[in-house]
Amino acid sequence: MQIGEFQNSPEAFCPYYKWIMADTFWSLIFSLMIPFMAALGNSQMTYDDANSGFIMHVLQKKGKIGYVLGSLTSVYAVTFIETVLVLAADVMFVFLLLPNVLPDQVLNSGEGYSRLFTYHVEWMYSKPFKLILFYIVLSGCAAGLFGMLTAVCGLYFSNRFMVMFSGFIIGLIFFVLANQQIVNLPSFLLVLPVMSQMYLPSLGCLAAFYLVCVALLFVFQIVGVRKHASI
């Protein structure tokens, strides 16, 4: 890039385009890593409890529902916070390196942001930091869901590596199916980048699908706990 072109490229200095979830390539890589990252925290606690027999001791004290609520809530909170802190650190680093140049809708019209691919795209030019916060929270919610998925799988698989990679494999399957438009279901990994690679479902549909997934995970967790309690 020539000096003149660099000077006429405001996005080159704009931190709102440079943090990881706004970068087309790295946002996709980070999104694909979220299920694996979610499995590295306390998500394997149910696997450890089930395979060590400690789950029987906990069930005697808390009961089945108490254990399910406690374990899934704990896993969700930890994975949510871990992801939010990682992305917050990335944003802080970008803002330390680059001046706080605000996006301009006219000068940056070639960036291609559209409400078809970005939630609350109007915030990019009016409240860009609010848009960053929204996508950080959205990523944290996705990580929490994958953390819960790992915790549930810990009650059904006896192999630790299967438990660790279960969220990644299931997330990747939905990623491919949604990307190829084979199924009409949203992929949480594809909606996390600020500029998605697919047409976005409405926030209402995404929230409804998210709540259904959470409810199903609670059901499978209860079934898994009952299975181990009867052994």
Q: What is the pLDDT of residues 92-146, one digit of tens each?
A: 999 999 888 887 766 655 566 788 889 998 898 889 999 999 999 999 999 999 9
Neighbours of 63 (CB within 10 A): 13
Look-up: residue for tokens 């409890």?
Answer: 49
Distance CA 207, CA 84 (A): 19
The pLDDT, as a whole number, for residue 43 is: 84
Q: What is the pLDDT of residues 194-206, one digit of tens each?
A: 988 888 889 999 9
Helix, strand, coil percent content, the chain, rounded in steps of 5: 75, 0, 25
Helices 128-153 and 24-38 pack at an angle, to 10 degrees, of: 30
Could you give the count of Cα atoms lying within 13 Å of 120 in the half-sphere of its Cβ? 15
What's the predicted TM-score (pTM) here? 0.88
Domain boundaries, the chain: 13-229
Do 191 and 138 touch, CB atoms closer than 8 A?
A: yes
